[in-house]
Amino acid sequence: MKKYVFLLLITFASTPLLAKPLKIATTFTIFADMAKQVGGKHVEVVSITKPGADIHNYQPTPKDIVKLQGADLILWHGLNLELWFDKFYRNVSSIPKVSLTKGIVPLSIDGGAYHDKPNPHAWMSSDNATIYINSIVEALTALAPHHAEDFQGNAQRYEQQIKSAMAGFKKQLAQIPADQRWLVSSEGAFSYLAAELGLKELFIWPINADAQGSPKQIKHVIDQVRANKIGAVFSESTVSDKPAKQVAREANSRYAGVLYVDSLSGPKGPVPNYLSLLTVTTQTIIDGLNKGSQDRSGDETLGASMGASKGASKGASKGIVQ
């Protein structure tokens, strides 16, 4: 009996500790979702930036420090993504931090003040997603080695879902004429996705941390869209769509919708998790390119019979961009 009571005491004493989930803080919503997918029931996750926020130029508030109280770990990106993080971290430096970009081979930013610096948007490639996910497994396992098997199992299932979703898109893209396989966006945030999908890339500004949509930047893209007869122009959920819409209008192209890259939406929005961010964005690109290439083939038929009217519409839009 005595022994039984003793065992019960041990059980009661240790249960609250074992049952308490790890509190994981992340700098942005994409890592928050990845950490939830890997950690499952063993983690409670908070994101410093909210859904829809711009991650690059975020201004932390005292509330963010409160939000992090009791956190066991902060997962952050690095590679120039969170320009505010080093300063912010001084306020919460008792919490360990782990950058998840170890092992990522960065592509360079092309143009602007950050030219040749690493392009941070590496999560827009499914191969890189695997690297982040494995880094999360490693970080969580270091904190709670007794859950290692759960973390690994969750990660494997998750990686499989991501891989199979992306495989289907590559087949759809192969149906689009090669000269129409362009990805035109506001921010140059899609270099990794464009590389994975075999798309040529064009953007109005290189990174949100820099000037966004100057007349010179807009004119350059209008000229390129016209010269290459690109059928679709996109913009991202965390920036103004005005410059992209102007490009589409003035280059006789089509504004083809919103892409998601720097943030998830809220739980009831179109991209409540990372997998949906990747799939909704890729599907929007494919749908836009399909419609754009139909517009362009219509253009050519029209152009043959009504060349004069096309010239007139180009003339009408002259002078808006200096």
Interface ranges with Zn ion (CB under 5 A): 189, 208, 262
Closer by beta carbon to Zn ion, 139 or else 189: 189
83 or 321: whose CB is closer to Zn ion?
Answer: 83
CA-wise closest residue to 82 among 45, 125, 108, 48: 48
Of 103, 106, 54, nearest to 82 (Cα)?
54
Q: Whole-number minimum distance, CB 147 to Zn ion, in Å?
A: 33
Least gap, CB of 308 to Zn ion (angstroms): 43
Phi and psi for 246 in degrees, rounded to 5? -65, -45
Q: How many CB atoms lie within 10 A of CB 316?
A: 9
Element (H, E) at 105: none
In whole angstroms, the minimum distance from the beta carbon of 56 to Zn ion comes to: 6
Q: Shortest distance, CB of residue 48 to Zn ion, whole angstroms?
A: 16
Burial class from Cβ neighbours inside 10 Å (0-12, 13-18, 19+) for residue 17 reads exposed
- What is the C-alpha to C-alpha distance for residues 120 and 114, in angstroms, rounded to an integer? 11
Nearest-approach distance from CB 189 to Zn ion, in angstroms: 4
Q: Least distance from C-beta 187 to Zn ion, angstroms?
A: 5
CA torsion through residues 252, 229, 279, 79, sign? negative
Give the span between the Cα atoms of 196 and 173, in whole angstroms: 11
Minimum distance from CB of 263 to Zn ion (Å)?
Answer: 9
Q: Considering beta carbons, is residue 95 or 107 the nearer one to Zn ion?
A: 107
CB nearer Zn ion, residue 88 or residue 205: 205
CA distance 39 to 147: 9
Closest to Zn ion by CB, 33 or 262: 262
All residues at 6 or more sequence positions from 25 whose CB lies less than 8 Å from its CB, including other chains: 45, 46, 47, 48, 67, 68, 71, 73, 74, 75, 95
- The DSSP H or E segment spanning 117 is none
Measured from the CB of residue 259, what is the shortest distance to Zn ion in angstroms? 11
Which CB atom, from 186 or from 252, has the smaller least distance to Zn ion? 186
> Which of residues 121 and 147 has its CB atom nearest to Zn ion in the complex?
121
Q: Are 45 and 68 in contact (CB under 8 A)?
A: no
Half-sphere exposure of 293 (CA within 13 A, CB side): 15
Q: Which is nearer to Zn ion, 140 or 244 (CB)?
A: 244
The Cα 315–Cα 144 span in angstroms is: 66
